[in-house]
Amino acid sequence: MSQPIVYVISDSVGETAEFVVRAVASQFNGGRVEIRRVGYVDDQEQIKEVVQAAKETNAVVAFTLVLPEMRDYLMDYAVMNGVVAVDILGPMIDAFSKVNNQTPKNRPGLVHQLDDEYFRRVEAIEFAVKYDDGKDPRGLLRADVVLIGVSRTSKTPLSMFLAHKRFKAANVPLVPEVEPPEELFEINPRKVIGLTISPDELNLIRTERLKALGLGSQANYAQHERIKLELDYAEKIMSKIGCPVINVSNKAVEETASIIMDVIKRGGRG
C-alpha cells in the first residue's frame, strides 16, 4: 500500500503544519506519510502549482497561512479542483478573534520570531552562567557587556537579569591580590560597566552575608579598612579602563539593570 501524500503549504517554514500532519498520520497506517513541504508561499501562483500537483497525486493539502485572502484563495481553488485542503491555523485565528474581540496581526512567521527570541535568551543565560565571576576570561571577548566590581556589588544577579533580556553578560570580580585578566583591557571599554557602592552599605551587605554563613562580622571581609582598600583598587582599575561606572548603593537589581541597558544602547556612554 502506497504512502499517503500531504502537501504542506506555509507562508513561513511550515513546521507547525508538518507537526500536525505527522500527529494525525500516527493514527493511521503506522504513521507512514510522505510530506512535501512548500514554505514561504506569498503569491497565488505558488498556491495554484501546489494544488495542481496535489490533484495529480491524489494528495491532501494542509496549510498554515495567516493572510485571510491567501487562505480563502487556497480553499476556493482547492474546491474547484476537487482537492481536499485543511486550514490548520484559520479556525483558531478566527476563534481567538471572536473571543477576545481583537484583530489578528496577520504577519507570517511570528511564531518563529518568538522561537528565535527564546533561543537567544537561553543562549544568553548559558553564557552568563559559564562566564560568571571571571571563570573563563576568554568569554569577555564575546560578551555584549562585562560587569566589574568588588564582591557583593550584584554582578551575578545583574548578569542573569541582563541574560533574560538577551544580553550576553560576563562579570569579573576585582580583588587587590588578583590581577585582572588581560582580556579585560583588550575589549572595547564601552562594553565594560564598573559597579561601585558606598562603603557603609557594602559593610552591611557583607556583614549579613557572613552571618548567613555562620561566621563572625569581625572577619576581614567586612572590615571598613578592607572595604576601602578594595573600593580604591576597583576605582583605579575602572579609571584605567575608562569605562562607565554605576553606583549601585540603595538600588534594586532591576533599577541598575535598566541603567546598564540604557548605557549599552547609547554605545557605552554613561
Give the start-to-end residue ranges of the domains of the chain: 5-108, 118-265
Instruction: Calculate the alpha carbon distances from 84 to 75, 76, 79, 147 in Å.
Output: 9, 11, 7, 58
Give the pLDDT score at 113. Answer: 52
65 neighbors 71 (Cβ within 8 angstroms): yes
Mean pLDDT value across the chain? 88
Give the pLDDT score at 115. Answer: 55
Confirm or deny that 107 is annotated as ligand binding. Answer: no
What's the CA gap between 166 and 164, in Å, rounded? 5
Confirm or deny that 155 is annotated as ligand binding. Answer: yes
Residues above pLDDT 70, as percent of the chain: 90
Cell of 31: 504513521
Confirm or deny that 149 is annotated as ligand binding. Answer: yes
Residue 196, strand partner residues: 247
SS3 85: strand
Residue 29's contacts (CB-CB under 8 Å, 6 or more residues apart) are 1, 3, 4
Which range is least confidently modeled, 19-33, 87-101, 219-233?
Answer: 87-101
User: Fold for domain 118-265?
Assistant: Rossmann fold (3.40.50)
Which range is least confidently modeled, 87-96, 151-160, 236-245?
Answer: 87-96
Confirm or deny that 196 is annotated as ligand binding. Answer: no
Pairing of the two strands 5-10 and 34-38:
parallel
Confirm or deny that 159 is annotated as ligand binding. Answer: no
Give the pLDDT score at 46. Answer: 92
For 5-108, give the CATH class. Answer: alpha beta
Residue 37's contacts (CB-CB under 8 Å, 6 or more residues apart) are 7, 8, 10, 14, 17, 18
- Condensed to tens digits (0 to 9), the pLDDT of residues 169-209 reads 999 999 999 999 999 999 999 999 999 999 999 999 999 98
Q: How confident is the model at residue 268 (pLDDT cuts 50, 70, 90)?
A: low
Strand residue runs (E) in the chain: 5-10, 34-38, 60-64, 85-87, 145-149, 169-173, 192-196, 245-247
Confirm or deny that 120 is annotated as ligand binding. Answer: no
- Condensed to tens digits (0 to 9), the pLDDT of residues 70-86 reads 989 999 999 999 999 99
- Condensed to tens digits (0 to 9), the pLDDT of residues 46-72 reads 999 999 999 999 999 999 888 888 989
- Condensed to tens digits (0 to 9), the pLDDT of residues 138-180 reads 999 999 999 999 999 999 999 999 999 999 999 999 999 999 9
| 5-108 and 118-265 in the same fold | yes
Cross-sheet strand order for the sheet of 60-64: 34-38, 5-10, 60-64, 85-87
